[in-house]
Amino acid sequence: MSDAAQTPQTRCGFVAVIGAPNAGKSTFVNALVGSKVSIVSPKVQTTRMPVRGVAMRGQAQIIFVDTPGIFQPRRRLDRAMVKSAWAGAGDADAVLLIVDAADLVAKPKGAAARDTDAIVESLKKAEHGKLPKISLVLNKIDELPRAELLPLVQSFSETGVFDQVFMISALKSDGIDEVADWSAAHLPISAWLYPEDQAADIPSRLLASEITREKLYFRLHDELPYATTVETEAWTAKKDGSVKIDQIIYVERAGQKGIVLGKGGQTVKAIGESARREMETIFGHRVHLFLFVKVREGWAENREHYRDIGLEYPEE
């Protein structure tokens, strides 16, 4: 008997979690990953997509990643993201589209409905076999009577573009195991990319950057390109158990600095407030967050950088 036959087969891969702001993406991933956070780095660098979290499912290691910009492909970098995501050029092995089902039922012609329809349409047109499998995850079902939900599930199933339609409440951890099992089943046979004992973690600094970037994007995505990045510069543990976190928000042009700062610094203050609250919840201790805004020119128009983050440079 060979070694391979004796060791249990492991799987590992990337599952893109997409959906409009507020759909429940973070809640869903956090529910599967747990809140344990510590410093860790992957064994190999294989993706430049932001990692949301890493979950273990039996012998499978699921790396949840972001493919942001999928909803508003207006700007150059965003278009590259969309192209990349839908062309399967990204590293994702499977895709989860998270939708706020309560919102969908309450506002059938609202933003959630439009986004979902747009994705269904683009999937219908997509070249068969080129895309990773995608499942629709109807979230927040705790806010909906079942009678309202079932017609929704049926209409989405009938589009034929989704591998599965799941109904979950990320908040109550209802139905999430089925989604994790589906995700695990679509991963390739592979060694784990994250060390086993740290599989539930991603680096605190990275996570802190990610939290701020998300708040920034949530608030300003109409005005700022996705190229805006956040880096955690310093992480200082204080004697009283709190942590001082210094972060730099990098924008591409001087004009964007003003957008991030807002009138009298109000925008960056509000972003910092909500980021700090989320960090305190996740890290489990008090956080003093200091945000600085700096201009890093030429970032989004630089070909090298596109290659660095695994995207094609959009020529049009």
# chain residues binding ligand GDP, by CB under 6 A = 15
By C-beta, is 13 or 24 nearer to Mg ion? 24
**Alpha helix (H) residue ranges in the chain:** 3-6, 25-33, 76-87, 101-106, 111-125, 146-158, 176-185, 204-220, 254-261, 266-283, 303-308
Task: Tell me which residue has tokens 């956040």.
Answer: 230
By C-beta, is 11 or 25 nearer to Mg ion? 25
By C-beta, is 100 or 231 nearer to ligand GDP? 100
**Considering only CA atoms, which of 146, 179, 169 is closest in space to residue 17?**
179
Q: How far is CA 169 from the centre of its chain?
A: 18
| Pairing relationship of beta strands 60-65 and 51-57 according to DSSP bridges | antiparallel
> What x/- string results for residues 149 through 188 when contact with ligand GDP is judged by CB under 6 A?
--------------------xxx-----------------
By C-beta, is 275 or 300 nearer to ligand GDP? 275
By C-beta, is 11 or 215 nearer to Mg ion? 215
Which residues in the 4-33 window bind ligand GDP by CB under 6 A? 19, 21-27
* Pair of tokens at residue 168: 């979950």
DSSP secondary structure code for residue 191 in this structure: -
Contact between 99 and ligand GDP by CB under 6 A: the answer reads no
Q: Which of 12, 26, 152, 207 binds Mg ion (CB under 5 A)?
A: 26
Amino acid at 179: V
Contact between 267 and Mg ion by CB under 5 A: the answer reads no
3-state helix, strand, coil in the chain (%, to 5): 40, 20, 40
CB of 130 to ligand GDP, least distance (A): 26
Contact between 275 and ligand GDP by CB under 6 A: the answer reads no
Contact between 169 and Mg ion by CB under 5 A: the answer reads no
Contact between 280 and ligand GDP by CB under 6 A: the answer reads no
By C-beta, is 68 or 90 nearer to ligand GDP? 68
**Considering only CA atoms, which of 98, 115, 288, 68 is closest in space to residue 183?**
98
CB of 169 to ligand GDP, least distance (A): 4
Q: Under 8 Å CB-to-CB from 315, ≥6 apart: which residues?
A: none
- Tell me which residues touch ligand GDP (CB under 6 A): 19, 21-27, 139-140, 142-143, 169-171
